[in-house]
Amino acid sequence: MQWPHIYPDPETRQLRKALSELSGVPEEYLLVGCGADELIDLLMRCTLDPGDKIIDCPPTFTMYVFDADINDARTITVPRLEGFRNDVEGIRRAVAEHRPKLLFLTSPNNPDGSMIPEEDLLALLELPVLVVLDEAYIEFADEPSRVQWVQRYPNLVVLRTFSKCAALAGMRVGWGAFPLDLAQLSSLREPALLFFAGSDSRLWTAACGHGSS
């Protein structure tokens, strides 16, 4: 760190500026966390009441169910179809029946690497639920990120991370694009407890030098 004797910037302004230049998304939509895992938990803590529901589409990243349990939420499971494609009709029925607050999608999916087709994502964004699109592995895909869609769809969150693309898993830095009414979630955290890596100048360099959104 350049100034190890100074508390980190709780708003991670320099990193968010670099991420804005990288992604083409205005800074006010962006939030940095201690890995994307923290952003998943923070989102649940700030949007779910005990007994509220989320939709999970296994096999996929297990942290969604883990965090739901911690936050006393119920998980509605809609398994993937053959070929690991999301069951759009099954999700539509689950939303109508259970009225979940959050729908978690992973693209590329962990563990199989399948991408959610654009037409499927568009169909799911029409549903009355906050769609959380986890793009932790998007840099390894042939298709572009949907991070800029957050400016058009007020019910979309897109999560990203430095853990895979920049091989910085040990620094625990994730980021995401949030609707403007959710982008202030960072203010609900204890500033003194923020992980310092988000203010590390090496991350600004990694973000600025990555070369793709």
CB of 68 closer than 8 Å to CB of 75: yes
pLDDT at position 165: 55
Q: Can the peptide bond before residue 179 be classed as cis, meaning omega within 30 degrees of 0?
A: no
Higher pLDDT, 98 or 36: 98
pLDDT surpassing 50 at residue 213: no
Q: Is the peptide bond before 50 cis (omega within 30 degrees of 0)?
A: no
- Cα(185)–Cα(182) distance, integer angstroms: 6
21-28 contacts: CB < 8 A, separation 24 or more?
21/207, 21/208, 22/207, 22/208, 22/210, 22/212, 22/213, 23/145, 23/147, 23/148, 23/177, 23/213, 24/147, 24/148, 24/213, 25/147, 25/148, 25/150, 25/151, 25/177, 26/151, 28/180, 28/183
pLDDT in tens, 128-183: 999 999 998 888 778 999 999 999 999 999 999 875 555 455 455 778 999 998 87
Task: List, for residues 33-90, the tens digit of each pLDDT value.
Answer: 877 888 999 999 999 999 999 999 999 999 999 999 999 999 999 999 999 999 999 9
Walk me through the domains of the chain, giving residue ranges and CATH numbers: 13-209 (3.40.640.10)
pLDDT recorded at residue 164: 57
